Structure 1
Amino acid sequence: MHKELNDYKELLKEANFKVTKKRLRMIELFMQDERYLSAKEIQTMMSNEYPGISYDTIYRNLHTLNDINVLEKTSFGGEMQYKISCTDHHHHHFICERCGEIQVISYCPVAKWEEELSGVKINSHKIELYGLCENCA
């Protein structure tokens, strides 16, 4: 389960960022769309409400929201893609390379891998599987 919009407002304040209508609208778009989105897609989604909003403004805000853990990012299709951060439980993702749909993978193989890698301690990880979803295949 994701946070509420007010929780994201507090995260912005705690990180000393202004709580702007554009930032909040961007967060709302990610809250409504359970998939990875590119900066270009966000710009298109916001252009009706904010005509002339620049790609640079979108990209800077995506970077800021990623830095304070509102968004998480990955790279596929030759560009950075973003989605609202998952904070409720540990899991991984299958990501459709065409439409950006996400499917949750609850199993985590890292403990097994750590056993196989003699003498190592894994401190963090991120596992993503890429391919085509059922609709795009």
Structure 2
Amino acid sequence: MNVEQALSTLKKNGYKYTGKREEMVRVFAREKRYVSAKDMLEFMKFDYPNISFDTIYRNLSLFSDLEIIESTELNGERIYRLACETEQHHHHLICTLCGRTKKLDMCPMNAVIGEPTGFTITGHKFEIYGYCETCEVQA
């Protein structure tokens, strides 16, 4: 998803277009990685010095409900990123230091369990954690 698609999704679902919401979407688009609510607050403070965690969390929840962003948990903290532009089934490699992701085009689940008997799979999430090339030298 890109900035225009995200803002269009908000408008299409009857939500106000605000500067804070636009800036949050732009931060996700610029960062191209998972960010925490704390990270988002830091990015937003320059333009919105009085912004609160409540505002950040409320908008993260809204964006998540509208599938503008995706979330996962890393080291006990919920982190967020702009939803992928592709609807094609894929998974991610996630750097545990910087939050960057890399798309994994194959589905490891097929190799792990295949098609189970007596159970219909309706969805799954598979993430692999490690270090990106940039962070590997720091680890």
TM-score by length of 2: 0.88
1:98 counterpart residue number: 97
Number of paired residues? Answer: 134
Instruction: Tell me if 1:24 matches 2:22.
Output: yes
Residue matched to 2:62: 64
User: Matches of 1:87 and 1:121 in 2, distance apart?
Assistant: 27
TM-score, scaled relative to structure 1 = 0.89
Aligned residues of 1:38 and 1:82 also touching (Cα < 8 A):
yes
- Mind listing any 5+ residue stretches in structure 1 that lack a counterpart? none
- Kept after mapping to 2: 8 A contact 1:46/1:53: yes
What is the DSSP-based 3-state SS (H/G/I as helix, E as strand, rest coil) of the residue aligned with 1:120?
Answer: coil
Return the letter of the residue paired with 1:94. L
1-side partners of 2:4 and 2:134: how far apart? 35
Alignment partner, residue 47 of structure 1: 45
Look up the equivalent residue of 1:18 and give its one-letter code: K
Distance 1:109 1:122 in 2: 14
5+ residue gaps, structure 2: none
Deviation at 1:131, TM superposition (A): 1.9
Q: What is the Cα-based RMSD across aligned positions, in Å?
A: 1.5
Q: How does 1:1-137 map to 2 (within 5 A)?
A: 2-3=1-2, 5-88=3-86, 89-112=88-111, 113-115=113-115, 117-137=116-136
**Secondary structure in 1 matching 2:92:** strand
| One-letter amino acid matched to 1:63 | S
For 1:77 and 1:109, locate their aligned partners in 2 and report how far apart those are by CA, in whole Å: 23
How far did 1:9 drift? 2.1
User: 1:112-136: per-residue Cα shift (whole Å, max 9, x none)?
Assistant: 5242x22222111111111222333
Query: Which segment drifts farther, 11-20 or 28-37?
Result: 11-20
- Letter of the 2:49 counterpart: P
Q: Is the 8 A contact 1:38 1:80 kept in 2?
A: yes
